[in-house]
Chain A
Amino acid sequence: MLTPEQVALIHAEVDGANSPEASAALRALVERDGDARALFEDLQTLSALIGRVHERAPPPQLKQAILEAQSPQSPPQSLVRWLVSPFHAAARRMEEALMSKKAIIIGTTAVAIIAVVGGIVVGYPPSGSESGTIGGVQQAARYRGRAMTERDVTVGNPQIAELFQNQDVLTLVKSEVFREAMQNEAFRSLQSNEAFRELMNSEAYRQLVSSEAYRELMSSEAYRELMASEAYREMVASEAYREMVASDAYRAIQNNEAYRELMNSEASRALMVSEAYRELANNEAYRALASNEAFRALQNNEAYRALQSNDAYRAAMANDAYRAAMSSDVYREAMANEAFRAVMGTEAYRAAMASDVFRAAMANEAFRSVMANDAYRQLQANEAFRSLSRSPQLAEAFLREASRAVVPE
């Protein structure tokens, strides 16, 4: 919460009224205080906006209408408060400094807004559209009736239709893999799965898909082979795997520093590919990990032990593609990547991994093909798609439109 003195300092800076010392103090304040920085930026934006408002004299009849519409009981301050509500965040702060010059400017803006509102209220017919004046040029008069507005337009989910203007979306929906996925029940269920959607919409995931490490991993041959391998498929479809990823122990280990170091260590890499297990015992990171509480808890975790003895898991561990992926630089960097780790630490990730729906999808050929598809990856990173995905109804509508948009053979 800013003090009145701090608010005044900010206003004075925007007004250009600060001394050099005060400006320096202001700079220090905004550097250390997020609220101060936000208020300062808002006021700068507002000031620039107001600076572009042209003065325009309203017609005589309009002035009269405004005066007649004014409530004599309305105090100026509450009027200002109501009228600046479009500048919501700034308005809140401005209540704390009404005596500043900024308040006068806001009030002037409020009058301009009244003029527009009042005009609509009393039904004054527009005499012409708003346009600038050009010196020496007489503007032609032109009758205008009621101007069409957004109210005159009723379109259904245009944001979905807009999404299909994106070449990545078009590439995806025209692809064979997408066509198969659209016909796949597991895929469609996953898309509407709450946990999965929450994961897709999380900030952590957004950073992840924007990261170079992620992109490299997704486009690596090793990863693609892994996704396509039968062993991997069976592993992730297994009950043991599901329980493991759902366990607290697993989550803890994913966030564990020692574990991460282990994953990044040369020894860990060597372990994955050959008989370098001997070295592991001598590896500092591994020793630290071994003594780590969370790691020991994981080792004792029933689900984890079940997984270790699971045939599918063991087959996956021995699978060439899996081992290649795990030992690849790309994978290692990805696992060390902040964004990746952030995602794996989220509740949404865990819930998604643990869901039956996800399991069924991961076991499905069509789904895995889509996941590995470049176009789909780009789609997931698309801001418009992500916005749409936040709404279950819109997401479902998108899938429906996408499947209908595909021309059948």
Chain B
Amino acid sequence: MYYRPVTPSRSLRALVLCLGLAAPGVLDAQFQTLETLTMRLMYTSPLQSYLVPQVVASFENALRFHRRIFDYDPGGPINVLMHDLWHYGNAGARPVPENHVTIGIAPYGHEYESAPAPERMASSMNHELAHIVTSDKATAADRRWRALFFGKVTPSAEVPLSMLYSYLTTPRWYTPRWYLEGIATYMETWMNGGLGRALGPYDEMVFRTLVRDSLEIYDVVGLESEGTSIDFQTGANSYLYGTRFVSYLALTFGNDSLLSWFNRTEGSRRYFATDFERAFGRSLEEEWARWIAWEREWQHDNLAAIRRHPTTVARPLTSRILGSASRAFHDSTNHSVLVAVRYPGQEAHIASIDIATGRFTRVRDLVGASGLSVTSLAFDPASRTLFYTTNNNEWPHIVALDLASGRTRTLLQEARVADLAFNAADRSLWGVRHDNGFSTLVRIEHPYTEWKQVYTVPYGHDLFDLDLSPDGRFLIGSFSEISGNQKLVRYEVASLLRGNTTPEVLYEFGDWSPSTFVHSRDGRFLFGSSYFSGVSNVFRYDIATKAMDALSNAETGFFKPLPISADSVVVLEYSGTGFVPSMIPNAVPDSVSAINFLGNVIAEERPDVQDWMPPPASEVNPDSLTTATGIYRARDNFKLDNAYPVIEGYQDAAGVDAIAVGMRLNFSDRVGATGLEFTTSYSPDERLDSYERLHARAVFRHWNWKLSAAFNRADFYDLFGPTKMSRRGYALALQYTGNLYLDGPTSLGYTLQAANYGDLAILPEFQDVAASFDKLSAFGADLKYESVRSSLGAVGAEFGTIWNAAARGNYVNETLYPRLSSDLAKGFLLPIDHSSIWLKASAGSALGPDRDDPFALFYFGGFANNWVDYRSFKQYRNTESFPGLEINQVGGATFGKAQVEWVSPPLRFRSLGSPSAYLRWAGLSLFASGLVTDFDDSALRATYTSVGAQVDIRLVTLSNLNSTFSFGYAVAQGDGIPRRSAAMASFKIM
């Protein structure tokens, strides 16, 4: 299970799409609520109501356990937001500004057995509430800060001081991901009765492989600076390392010592690394190094156990490491293997690998690849059509690719079907559809215009990894139960379609998932993999004799077997850098020894974990706990989150810089769709006009709407400049943002805005440009198409298309000054990993009557970065930027601009710093720009050119705070402007 940061924007975008462009009141009304004394549940559809009792009971059960173990009092109800926006189940938690758990109710993925197998609501609650406890529990000092700030503070880039306040109120939130996930996964495993990654074969495999191949096991800094970025498992490394290290600590020091480190009690140190010394008497770095040494020894023992019998040597098909890979298919037409891959540095794609020569050919790029499985793939060899899924992390689409012509066709949009299998007998597609928490076996008849329900698996059970026999008579799959037991099953298709859903159980695998079993070409055998011995080996099942045989004794792990002949089987062999497509013989090895699990030793030597399993959730009566139910209303759930002091800068029209001090108050609802930020400050500086000493700003957001108001707007970053946001006068603006289209990374959105300004001295849009009139009404309309993507391990968007068309208008002194502009940017990923070329073109025209009025013009100049900033550190990409010139130095009623930019691969820092502050990467950008203003007036026309470079360095502090140092240099020249250069230095705090 992967933790997903609970960011409102992503989920809200999808929610808004799902619920339609309706009035906010209607959107609110789609949320249902149920409250107990300890929980405030909100769910996004009435159809999810059947799950509510299970969610309530699981929550209460898990909370009671955590309260007992950690002596924890949440101090009020914990918010739980339940939704169905993802294809696979997942969940997340955060303690700020309130304790909040988000849970996607879809069934878990079963890829490589990397997720726990038992009933997922209980498992999720066991895990997520561990996050809440370890990040929220407070000492008296923490509570004092919380009282001072009226709550827990969420850091805001607009107010960098909020970072400090946030740390003071919730110090244990500022810990590395491995720390949070490690304890949560550890607790979850033992609360699940041993089912989880602390007793997982996948984790054993990862570290066994690192040791076997003498690869580096990341140190505590390297894991965060590099290990979670460049490794093909990226974020999963946090789980792997965290669980492993926590388990090692439990074994070595006992659970009491382990829990004392995670339990924020009186006497514990605020910073997690410092507190490690208190809990264990040694430094975190030292003990981490000891763990690595211990791990090498442990894995050597396991490797020795495997090597007691001859191991299977796999012959790689290609020298290319695939990263993550999907199920593979044999294309006998050109004797190749078709597989979808995803590795760092390049976009996920479907590839063809020549079995004889190993030649690797990129067939088709893949949008919306998922983490480990990449995509769901099926193949019709007769028509040479590949079926695959896109948008895999959300609601997958089914796409068909004609290999001969290369043409693709989207068959079903948002079908939510994966685990595809092709029936050669009738050309139908079968799959498993996830919807509202259920897995439904569906059949899609040719020509694939609609799916039909065949069988909905009862809640808590799951069916996955389908395959059809060559004659189309039988369907096989893996079936999991509430207990976590799993079996290989078979259905007779004709009987299934008549409604007989009782399968024939071919083999009981118990705890060990039967993975991707497929038919041999003659239909006599089934080939699949399982961690039966603790190592993922290939197995062959003889349908006639019902005999199961191992076909390998792997040192690392073999997966997704593909029988291509009577003698050979293609497998994916796990390596430290990704999966390698390899060939093994279709032969039964001598014997296969089992390995030992670290979790078994913990259960034996630290048996207190055996008491960690809560009683059955059915012993909790949800009805007796319920205090209220109803429809969710934002206005009933709107509250003050926190309030804290602020310092701001203000510059008046005369250029006087003053400091203002004040307060900021933050309000929001429980869902995160409605919020209000109100800031007020005062400048005592007597150089300022008395009118300009009071400052205020309010921003109210409600779903798609935003209402903002300002009076003598001040800004923290104006303390530094050179970009100034502060403006004299008042402003009132209303904005609506919507999406006409939203599909994964592709969107077509629009923004409409209307604003009114008064008592102006400077133009609202362009600093240092005096306003010719002190009142202004402005409107804006933007249409933006965006489809940008990045490869695994990227530091920013690497390729794609962004197009924007904007209409602006200033209405001043009974005169309208409309302006139109458009930008187009196109990025290309180069064959060098993580390196891109971006091409950008912009044009605009003012349509007003007076070309000389400043309200009518476009202005350009400067890098536009502030000395201290919170906006994007690549400001040179903005249309109004022109490095080398001063800010807003040149202007015109019309303009045309072009820019070409090359982005270098980032230089990664493996271990530069300490756990509290380390450098992560550095990147170089080279750019060249050309600008022509007033191109429609030969008398006024002017051209300018600029070349420049910028270096960006990422710094991470307190684990969660990403800052960037930027240094730039540019040379520019143009009509009336001799060559000049400009340097830039900027620190983006968050």
Contacts and interface: CB of A to CB of B under 8 A. Distances in A.
A162 B547 CA distance: 36
Interface in A102-150: 128-132, 134-150
Contact of A140 (B49, B453, B550, B594): B594
Contact of A144 (B193, B482, B590): B193
Interface in A172-222: none
A359 to B, nearest CB: 31
B510 A161 contact: no
Interface size on A, as a range, is 35 or more
A383 interface: yes
A165 interface: yes
Given A138-B592, A140-B597, A148-B483, A405 B508 contact: no
A165 B456 contact: yes
Given A154-B617, A408-B26, A132 B533 contact: no
Contacts of A153: 54, 119, 459-460, 482, 617-618
B548 interface: yes
A395 to B, nearest CB: 15
A145 B612 CA distance: 9
Contact of B532 (A137, A145, A405): A137
Interface in B1-56: 19-20, 22, 26, 29-30, 45-47, 49-54
B194 interface: yes
Given A137-B533, A138-B533, A152-B617, A158 B459 contact: yes
Contact of A152 (B440, B588, B616): B616
B199 A142 contact: yes
A143 B600 contact: yes
B511 A165 contact: no
B662 interface: no
A57 B508 CA distance: 17
Contacts of B905: none
Contacts of B30: 407
Contact of B616 (A132, A151, A409): A151
Nearest to A52: B505
Given A136-B550, A144-B195, A165-B435, A155 B511 contact: no
B76 interface: no
Given A136-B588, A155-B51, A165-B440, A147 B484 contact: yes
Secondary structure of the A contact surface, majority rule: loop
Contacts of A150: 460, 482
Contacts of A143: 194, 199, 599-600, 603-604, 610
A141 B600 contact: yes
A265 to B, nearest CB: 38
A135 B550 CA distance: 8
Given A129-B483, A131-B509, A155-B51, A139 B459 contact: no
A135 B195 CA distance: 25
B591 interface: yes
B618 A154 contact: yes
A330 B383 CA distance: 41
Given A129-B485, A165-B433, A137 B438 contact: no
A162 B456 contact: yes
Interface in B102-119: 118-119
A391 to B, nearest CB: 15
B536 to A, nearest CB: 11
A147 B46 contact: no
B972 interface: no
A396 to B, nearest CB: 14
A127 B49 CA distance: 37
B558 interface: no
Nearest to B121: A153
A324 interface: no
Interface string B580-614: 00000000111111111101100110000010010
B553 to A, nearest CB: 9
Contacts of B435: 164-165
A158 B458 contact: yes
A404 B46 CA distance: 6
Nearest to A136: B591
Contact of B483 (A141, A142, A149, A407): A149
Given A134-B548, A152-B617, A128 B458 contact: no
B50 A407 contact: no
The listed residue with most A CB atoms (<10 A of its CB), out of B483, B589, B599, is B483
B683 to A, nearest CB: 50
B594 A129 contact: no
Interface in B436-469: 436-438, 440, 450-453, 456, 458-460
Contacts of A154: 53-54, 57, 617-618, 620, 622
B618 A151 contact: yes
A408 B21 CA distance: 11
B119 A152 contact: yes
Contacts of A142: 194, 199, 511, 597, 599-600
A166 interface: yes
B299 to A, nearest CB: 15
A167 interface: yes
B548 A132 contact: yes
B895 interface: no
Nearest to B61: A152
Nearest to A169: B453
B248 interface: no
Contacts of B956: none
The listed residue with most B CB atoms (<10 A of its CB), out of A135, A142, A161, A405, is A142
A171 to B, nearest CB: 9
Contacts of A132: 507-509, 548
A160 interface: yes
Given A138-B533, A145-B194, A165 B453 contact: yes
A139 B533 contact: yes
A142 B117 CA distance: 14
B499 interface: yes
A138 B50 CA distance: 42
B591 A137 contact: yes
A157 B50 contact: yes
A156 interface: yes
A134 B549 contact: yes
A302 interface: no
Contacts of A136: 549-550, 588-592
A401 interface: yes
A140 B618 contact: no
A138 B597 CA distance: 14
Nearest to B534: A140
B482 A167 contact: no
B140 to A, nearest CB: 36
A86 B435 CA distance: 34
Nearest to B46: A404
B201 interface: yes
B614 to A, nearest CB: 9
Contacts of B22: 407-409
A170 to B, nearest CB: 9
B858 interface: no
B799 interface: no
A143 B29 CA distance: 46
Contact of B47 (A146, A151, A152, A405): A405
8 contacts: A140-B596, A142-B511, A144-B194, A148-B193, A153-B482, A158-B458, A401-B46, A408-B29
Interface of B: 19-20, 22, 26, 29-30, 45-47, 49-54, 57, 118-119, 122, 190, 192-195, 199, 201, 433, 435-438, 440, 450-453, 456, 458-460, 482-485, 499, 507-512, 531-534, 537, 539, 547-550, 588-597, 599-600, 603-604, 610, 613, 616-618, 620, 622
Given A134-B548, A154-B57, 16 more contacts: A128-B511, A129-B511, A134-B550, A145-B190, A145-B194, A147-B193, A152-B119, A153-B54, A154-B622, A155-B50, A156-B53, A158-B459, A165-B438, A405-B46, A407-B22, A409-B22
Q: Which 10 A-B pairs have the closest CB atoms?
A: A145-B193, A131-B510, A140-B534, A129-B510, A404-B46, A143-B603, A140-B594, A147-B483, A138-B594, A161-B50
